Chain A
Amino acid sequence: MNRDFRQIRLEGVTRRFSDAGRAAFNAVSGLTLTIERGEFIALLGPSGCGKSTALNLVAGLLPLSDGSIWLDDERIDALPPEKRGFGMVFQNYALFPHMSVVRNIDFGLRMRGMPAAEIRRRVADVLKMVQLIGQENKLPGQLSGGQQQRVAIARAIVIQPPLVLMDEPLSNLDAKLRLETRSEIRRIHRDLARTTIYVTHDQEEALSLADRIIVMIDGVVQQIGTPQEVYSQPANLAVATFMGYRNLLELDVERSDGERVTLTGPDVRLTGTRKLPLPDGRAWVAMRPEEMMVGDGAGSANTIAVRVDAVEYCGRDSLLDLRTASGHRLHVRATGDYAAGTQVHVHVPVERALVYPQA
């Protein structure tokens, strides 16, 4: 396998599943993407969106129904997984239960027929990198979840693959270990600069690790962008909903002036920002709970009168469950004491109220 590649290209990668008696559906549909060498790509989406399928297609564990995968000028989608030489970290680790830590890690090197001295040197290096010195001869069953995870990562990177694939590697760890392993993965990626595709449903993981995020919903790529772009400028309503824009109001378009749009409802009048062309009639406003504030906006613009329905105390702040007079529900993060039943005002900056056409 060519290790001095410049880029990996996915062109119209599609995977159709057809169960007997049911209509065929596309688990992954027309995935087109160019990954530069050394990049960390996160494939982000809700469960069942096809992101793991996409990873298996790249790994060669599933055949493509359509499209092609290229490593520079070499077409690789017909190669079996053992010929692609991509390192993969599985969600349940898939460590070989009958082999010691060292045997698990050096498995890929042994399969390549590498000389024993070189194997020892590489395994020693990688053991140091994932901090597993002293655990060499234990079986996977004798390790904690976090240690197993590190063996899985070591096993995938020791073969120095052109591409590392990670399938929700942190989802089986507890909250504390997840944070630690996340920084570990970031450190390893910084040290080795290995091109990585990382599948996750956790937006925080994707935002903190990736150079670029690919948001996938229902097998279709919705947005490709930097973490900042995906977080603050979701491409469409579906991405916004997934990225935590919990406050969604369907309103009438009153006036449109460039990117500025003013919308009205029975007891709401909001000015927001749009990225997509809007048809006349109705549109959606999407707002994050943490980007709305309690109180009046400047000149009472973008202010909504609401009643506090419930208060969820979260430590650093509280999540307020609010309702407008006409019954629209809103969620706002706020510090301070609020009692259920009180009337308050909330407001949102014009540039943080994102307006989308109907899905």
Chain B
Amino acid sequence: MADRVAAVPRALLDRTMAPMVPATLFMVLLFIYPFLYGLLLSFTPQHGDWLANYRKFFTADNLWPTIWTTMRLALPVTLINVGLALPIAFKMRSKTRYQRFVTTVLVIPVSLGTVMIAEGMLTYFGPKGWLAQIVGVLHLYDGRIHLTHNYWGVMISLVISGFPFAFLLILSYITGIDPALARAAATLGAGRSAQFRHIYLPLLAPGLAMCFCLAFVQSFTVFPSAVLLGAPAGPTRVISIAAYEAAFEQYDYSLASAIAMVMGFVQLLVITVVLASRSLFYRGPAVGGKG
């Protein structure tokens, strides 16, 4: 019995655990502590009982709808990014002459910040921008083109900045699938679309779920483009803008923390649902034998 008690601390002090220390410290200092701090802060409102902030969020007309405003942006953007990236990455899976060129062009937006993209879009898509002028000169469309300072502006900028991540992620998943599997399916009578449905899609499903989660979190936390390209007082008043206003315009850090907690919870909910669906699919290595 005494041996057993002694064994526990020895296991904890095991030398092989030493490399874990920096990462653990990093997590504690930069993630767990701020998170717990924010969580506690959200339960200590300036006025009222401990749930006052949450009650306020879910009753105030300018707060709870921000969840839907954000969702209305984030879900379509995520679906577009993953949905566009999948066929393009599938086309780019084998080495062709154009593969490197196309991949480079598609990935360039990664190197641009959201603010840079927003600036560029204001010049290009604005009412007096190049696009409007070209369309006007060519008389393709004589109405006014509204692609900035509204929902569409934010959406386009989120697609521009989010697509390369989705594309690179899916490309790496696809190239990890042994091409011999598709060849084997072909010899067994599967045409191109059947190969995609029966071989690639099921093997990609877990990766697509992961990609969906990352793309969703990325667009759900949108802030700069919602302010610069959207209508931050109306249709693109996303949840992060609500949190920002609470913190830096009303100086109510406690309410801002509560909003941030709600934001985190909604993301967690979506991610949980998507990742739980992964268990429906095969998740082992995507090669077909001892190779």
Check B185 against A90 for contact (C-beta < 8 Å).
no
Task: Contact check, A81 vs B186: say whether CB atoms are below 8 A apart.
Answer: yes
- Nearest CB of B to A110, in Å: 9
Within 8 A of A (CB), among B259-291: 281-282, 284-291
Instruction: Report the separation of the CA atoms of residues A159 and B186 in the bound assembly, to the nearest whole angstrom.
Output: 13
Annotate A101-132 by CB proximity to B: 1 below 8 A, 0 otherwise: 00000011001100000000000000000000
On whether A141 and B183 interact (CB within 8 A), knowing A111-B190, A111-B194, the answer reads no
Interface residues of B in 168-210 (CB under 8 A from A): 178, 180-181, 183-191, 194, 198-199, 202-203
Q: A93-B290, A98-B203 are in contact. Are A87 and B187 (CB under 8 A)?
A: yes
A61 x B203 contact (CB < 8 A)? no
Interchain CB contact (< 8 A) of A140 among B180, B194, B199, B289 = B289
Contact A86-B287, Cβ < 8 Å, known A97-B282, A98-B203? no
Is A224 interfacial (CB 8 A cutoff)? no
Q: Indicate if A78 sits at the interface (CB-CB under 8 A).
A: no
Once the chains bind, are B188 and A107 in contact (CB under 8 Å)?
A: yes
Q: Is there contact, CB below 8 Å, between B286 and A97? A: yes
The answer to whether the Cβ of A63 comes within 8 Å of any Cβ in the partner chain is: no
State which size class the interface on B falls in. 20 to 34
- Output the least CB separation between A103 and chain B (Å): 9
Residue from A87, A98, A111 within 8 A of B282 (CB atoms)? A98
A59 within 8 A of B: yes
Chain A hits for B183, CB < 8 A = 61, 81, 90, 94
Nearest CB of B to A293, in Å: 42
Q: How far is the CB of B208 from chain A (nearest CB, A)?
A: 14
Of the candidates B187, B194, B203, B290, the one whose C-beta lies within 8 Å of that of A145 is B290
Contacts of B184 in A (CB 8 A): 88, 90, 94-96, 155
The contact of B202 among A80, A86, A98, by CB within 8 Å, is: A98
Indicate with 1 or 0, residue by residue over A72-96, a CB within 8 angstroms of chain B CB atoms: 0000000011101111101011111
> How long is the Cα–Cα vector from A129 to B281 in the complex, in angstroms?
30
User: Shortest CB–CB separation between residue A205 and chain B, in angstroms?
Assistant: 18
CA distance A152 to B183 in the complex (A): 13
B289 and A96: CB pair below 8 A? no
Most buried by B among A93, A98, A139, A148: A98
Q: Which residues on B sit within 8 Å (CB–CB) of A112?
A: 189
Considering the chains assembled together, what is the distance between the CA atoms of A139 and B181 in angstroms?
Answer: 15
Taking the closest CB of chain A, its distance from the CB of B197, in whole angstroms, is 11
A108 CA to B199 CA, complexed, in Å = 13
Instruction: State the Cβ distance, B268 to closest chain A Cβ, in Å.
Output: 28
Do A82 and B190 touch across chains, with their CB atoms under 8 A apart?
yes
Q: Does A358 contact B (CB under 8 A)?
A: no
Task: For residue B289, give the distance in angstroms from its CB to the closest CB of chain A.
Answer: 3
Among residues of A, the one whose C-beta sits closest to the C-beta of B287 is: A97
Question: Please, how many angstroms separate the alpha-carbon atoms of A127 and B199 in the complex?
Answer: 23
A139 engages B282 (CB within 8 Å): yes
Chain B residues whose C-beta falls within 8 Å of the C-beta of A88 in the assembled complex: 184, 187
Q: What CA separation (Å) do A112 and B284 show in the bound complex?
A: 28
> Contact: B186 with A94, CB < 8 Å?
no
For window 50-86 of A, CB contacts with B under 8 Å fall at 59-61, 80-82, 84-86
Mark contacts of A143-171 with chain B using CB atoms, 8 A cut-off: 1 yes-contact digit, 0 otherwise.
00100100010011001000001000000
Contact A82 B191 (CB under 8 A): yes
A42→B281 CA distance, assembly (Å): 40
User: Which among A81, A92, A98, A148 is the interface contact of B187 at CB below 8 angstroms?
Assistant: A81
Chain B nearest CB: distance from A52 CB in Å? 12
Contacts of B289 in A (CB 8 A): 90, 92-95, 140, 148, 152, 172
Q: How far is the CA of A187 from the CA of B229 in the complex (A)?
A: 72
Cβ contact within 8 Å between B191 and A92: no
Provide the bound-state CA to CA distance between A90 and B182, in Å: 12
Known: A61-B183, A97-B203, A97-B282. A92 touches B188 (CB 8 A): no
Distance of A111 Cα from B191 Cα, bound (Å):
9
Report Cα–Cα, A59/B281, bound state, in Å. 31
The answer to whether A95 and B190 touch across the interface, beta carbons within 8 angstroms, is no
Q: Which residue of the partner chain B has the closest CB to A106? A: B188
Q: For the complex, give the distance between the alpha carbons of A68 and B188 in Å.
A: 22
CA distance A276 to B237 in the complex (A): 89
Contact: A159 with B290, CB < 8 Å? Answer: no
**A148 and B186 in contact (CB under 8 A), knowing A94-B178, A98-B202, A98-B282?**
no
CB distance from B236 to the nearest CB of A (A): 41
CB distance from B173 to the nearest CB of A (A): 14
Q: CA–CA, A165 to B185, complex, Å?
A: 14
Expressed in whole angstroms, the Cα–Cα distance for A145 and B291 within the complex equals: 10
CB distance from B174 to the nearest CB of A (A): 15
Q: Which residues of B contact A94 (CB under 8 A)?
A: 178, 180-181, 183-184, 288-289
Distance to closest chain A CB from B57 (angstroms): 43
In Å, the complex CA distance between A148 and B290 comes to 9
B288 and A159 contacting across the interface, CB-CB below 8 Å? no
Contact of B185 among A84, A96, A172 (CB under 8 A): A96
* 9 interchain residue pairs of minimum CB distance: A98-B282, A93-B289, A108-B188, A92-B291, A111-B189, A94-B184, A94-B180, A81-B186, A94-B288
A80-B191, A87-B187, A90-B180 given. 7 additional CB < 8 A pairs?
A: A82-B187, A85-B189, A87-B188, A90-B183, A96-B181, A97-B203, A141-B285
27 contacts between A and B (CB under 8 A): A59-B187, A61-B186, A61-B187, A80-B191, A82-B187, A82-B189, A85-B189, A88-B184, A90-B180, A90-B288, A93-B288, A94-B180, A94-B181, A95-B288, A96-B185, A97-B284, A97-B287, A98-B282, A107-B190, A108-B189, A111-B189, A140-B289, A141-B285, A145-B290, A148-B290, A159-B188, A165-B187
Task: State the B residues within 8 Å of A (CB).
Answer: 178, 180-181, 183-191, 194, 198-199, 202-203, 281-282, 284-291
